[in-house]
Amino acid sequence: MKIHDLIEIIKKFMPKKEELIEHLKYVETMRKNYKLPIEIHEEAIFKYKHGLIYIPQKAIDSLINKDFLDCGAYMGDSALIFEKEYKASRIFSFEPVPDNYQYLLKLISLNNLKNVIPIQKGLGEFPGKEKYCALVFCSRVEDDGSEEMEIIKIDDFVSKKNLDVGLIKMDVEGYELEALKGAEYTIKKFKPILLISIYHNPEEMFESKDFLQKIVPGYNFRIKHLADVRSLREVHLIAWC
């Protein structure tokens, strides 16, 4: 493909060349500041901090020395931001997919992270086993999946470890609502900041906010699109008290 043809394709998806230039500059900055096992610098994470930039400073200050739950850790890029830019006590990073889990371990080593605790388990409403389809970037729970993962409840984990939860970030490829239901007691008790991906399916898009509003009526909510170059992904529900 000729460079001219590539530029024309880019123009169709990005009408403003300024957006492309800004994006490329942002990626280059991230490469200098953070070491990743895969060269994928997600805007939602590195630029928008999963939506934390939209939360009042008072709520952000309340995160100091709290425990963070990184649900759907992938290669650990979220955990990297949480440790480097926010003052979490501990970051528990849940990633059940073996290949991704290895990336997570590598990222922890590359960046000499001290507060990230990797956990090779999935999260849901009930503990047990679930089948899933293993894909490169978006493995997801499927009844006819060829792989199997262990599922635990956030409520059980938090109780067992006696955590003081300040933040829950969740990007579990369409299983968000189930994982939230497994965290109901934790959310009621700690009222943590919630950073929830809701773009994988209609249920999580339209039901997550209602579920959270019922169990903690005092939550403030924002729904934000955390991407500059991808129009159909990275829609996040952000909640804080």
The DSSP result for 71-94, as a single string, is: ES-TTSHHHHHHHHHS--SEEEEE
Residues 5 and 91 in one domain: no
- Say if strands 165-170 and 128-133 run parallel, antiparallel, or are unpaired: unpaired
Residues 79 and 27 in one domain: no
Residues 113 and 77 in one domain: yes
Model confidence at 201, pLDDT cuts 50, 70, 90, reads confident
- pLDDT reading at 239 higher than 70: yes
User: Do the beta carbons of residue 180 and residue 127 sit within 8 Å?
Assistant: no
Span of 122-126, 206-210, 228-232, 235-239 with lowest mean pLDDT: 228-232
Residues 66 and 6 in one domain: no
pLDDT per residue over 34-85, tens digit each?
899 988 878 889 989 999 999 999 999 999 999 999 999 999 999 999 999 9
| Mean pLDDT calculated for residue range 97-125 | 96
Residues 123 and 4 in one domain: no
Give residue 23's domain range: 1-33
- Give percent of the chain with pLDDT exceeding 70: 80
pLDDT score recorded for residue 52? 98
Residues 76 and 124 in one domain: yes
The highest-confidence range among 10-19, 166-175, 185-194, by mean pLDDT, is 185-194
Number of domains into which the chain is organized: 2
Per-chain mean pLDDT for the chain? 86
Location of structure tokens 């930039």: 53
Taking each helix axis from N to C end, the angle separating 98-110 and 77-85, rounded to the nearest 10 degrees, works out to 30
pLDDT per residue over 117-135, tens digit each?
999 999 999 999 887 666 5
CATH code for the domain in which residue 68 is found = 3.40.50.150
pLDDT score recorded for residue 222? 97
Q: What's 65's DSSP letter?
A: T
pLDDT score recorded for residue 6? 46
Residues 129 and 218 in one domain: yes
Residues 49 and 71 in one domain: yes
For residue 15 the two structure tokens come to 């009408």
Residues 152 and 173 in one domain: yes
Q: What's 49's DSSP letter?
A: G
Q: CA 92, 168, 60 angle in degrees (round to 5)?
A: 105
**Backbone φ/ψ region at 20: left (φ over 0), alpha (ψ -120 to 50), beta:** alpha
